[in-house]
Amino acid sequence: MQEKVIANRYQLLDLLGEGGFGSVYRAYDMQNKQEVAIKILHFDANKKPEQAQRFQIEAHITAALQHPNILRVFELGQTNEGKLYMVTELLVGAPLDEILTIQVLNLPQTFYVLRQATLALKDAHDKAVIHRDIKPGNLFIHKEGNREVVKLLDFGIAKVLHQDQKTLTGQLFGTPYYMSPEQIYASKSITKASDIYSLGAVAYHCLTGRVPFDGDSQYMILNQHINSPLPQMGKISPLLDHPALQSFIEYLMAKKPEQRPQDATVVLDKLNDLQRQYPHWFEPIPTFLTPNLLNQLKTKAAHPSQTAAIMDHFAKTDVGQEKSPFHESDDFESEENTSQTPAINVAPTLNQAKFYETIEEKITKRKKSNWLQIAILVFSFSSLLFYWLQEQDQSSKKIVNTSLTQTINQMQKNLDAPIVPLLMEDAFVEKMPELTPIENEQTEPDLIFDQNPENLKHLQSM
């Protein structure tokens, strides 16, 4: 049974969300006289040290960043039952992924989200932290007084550069719809540019209402990230048919990391350039949390207070929530029990070796299949060509034979007597009787036509 007061300080008020790893509560900080959110793991930290370590890494990294666009962490502790907990600011609003299920963002809204998310990333990148899971579910539109602020959440799989950092052994982290190509191959050289790629994928989703690459399986989605060009946004909506806009998103989502902005600072510079050239893309300052939107969110939510709660990697209930695509099929199985798998906002994990080998095997099989198909086509074409040449040769012979037969028949009709062609072969000529030569008669080189009736009778009797 869950304690009602944590650390003699935080009084639990109500449950905001629950998942496989833990629960999120709205609580009252009796010391600072303010409401907060508390994330409490379901299990004893000593029984699952790897998951507990990830939870601690998230708390320490997030607490160290301290930026207006990053969720604030106040405290990390352990309950009397041995469960880890994290105290954070209480967010009021809605996560971006839920908003996108209801409406597509316009240009000012998209660039507002993009700029604030980039500011959060700049602070992280300046401190040598790579988030590695930028997606709409980790961007929260928070109502702060009279303004709306974008908050970056979930540094649970963040990587600290130039520092030895343990992760779950043999696991690959990320969300397929927004993963950079180098993340897919679990490259050790993942850089800040990986976050930029994911940020570009989020911007594409905001503008078009759909993810850049989709498919019936994880493999199809990931393969497109690696090999397929970015679909033209102008074909989805005429309002997005602008070369500068398409070029900007393609710049963020270049396949090769070195062809993208290398960190968030470069993205901010590019955003400033675009604002100078196209100020109407950034104005007016947008509003997201309209009464109409909040009513629709409350209607969809299993618990009305979810729209006024922090939504992080295990804060969502299973009701009405989209599951991670990694749980849709058996192509790639997580090594963890599905009953303990976090909801959509947690970065899905895969066995890295199995995943990489599966991708390589499928690519190799496809290449072999392509070569086999080419070989079959070449063989088929050669066979058809050989058959055609044979047919042409037979047709030519038939034409010659037919022409010769017609000539003989015609001459026979003209002479009103049978005509026998005699081939000029030595073996046959020796057996021939002496024939009366025909004077002044033009004959074909290979044929002799004897018009002497006596000789014709003699030939017929042979």
Closest CA to 272 of 149, 115, 68, 107: 115
Instruction: Let me know if residue 378 belongs to a domain.
Output: no
152 with 283, same domain?
A: yes
157 with 276, same domain?
A: yes
Instruction: Let me know if residue 87 belongs to a domain.
Output: no
447 with 312, same domain?
A: no
The answer to whether 133 is a known catalytic residue is yes
- Cα-atom radius of gyration of the chain, to the nearest Å? 40
Run of H or E residues at 359: helix 352-415
339 with 427, same domain?
A: no
315 with 186, same domain?
A: yes
Check which CATH number belongs to the domain holding 112 and give it: 1.10.510.10
341 with 445, same domain?
A: no
The last residue of one of the domains, among 347, 363, 390, is 347
Closest CA to 51 of 309, 310, 313: 313
333 with 423, same domain?
A: no
119 with 205, same domain?
A: yes
**In this predicted structure, what is the pLDDT of residue 388?**
76
**In this predicted structure, what is the pLDDT of residue 193?**
93
Is the C-alpha dihedral spanning 11, 16, 19, 21 positive or negative? negative
Instruction: Let me know if residue 188 belongs to a domain.
Output: yes
- In this prediction, the residues of the chain whose per-residue pLDDT falls under 70 are 1-2, 161-173, 186-188, 301-370, 393-462
Q: Give the C-alpha separation, 205 to 178, whole Å.
A: 10
Q: Which residue matches tokens 């299993």?
A: 302
434 with 339, same domain?
A: no
Q: Which residue matches tokens 């007597």?
A: 417
Pairing relationship of beta strands 349-351 and 93-95 according to DSSP bridges: unpaired
DSSP assignment of 193-213: HHHHHHHHHHHHHHHHSS-SS
Instruction: Let me know if residue 217 belongs to a domain.
Output: yes
Instruction: Let me know if residue 331 belongs to a domain.
Output: yes
Instruction: Let me know if residue 179 belongs to a domain.
Output: yes
**In this predicted structure, what is the pLDDT of residue 17?**
84
Domain that holds residue 280: 93-347
334 with 431, same domain?
A: no
Instruction: Let me know if residue 423 belongs to a domain.
Output: yes
Distances, alpha carbon 45 to alpha carbons 21, 55, 82, 156, 336, in Å: 11, 10, 6, 16, 17
Instruction: Let me know if residue 18 belongs to a domain.
Output: no
Number of folded domains that form the chain: 2
The last residue of one of the domains, among 291, 313, 347, is 347
CA dihedral (105, 109, 112, 114) in degrees, to 10, reads 10
The last residue of one of the domains, among 331, 347, 363, is 347
293 with 159, same domain?
A: yes
Cβ 207 vs Cβ 241: under 8 Å: no
Global pTM reads 0.65
333 with 430, same domain?
A: no
Beta strands in 258-417 (DSSP E): 349-351
Tell me the pLDDT tens digit for each residue of 426-443: 444 444 444 445 454 444
Q: Which of 97, 123, 133, 154 is catalytic?
A: 133
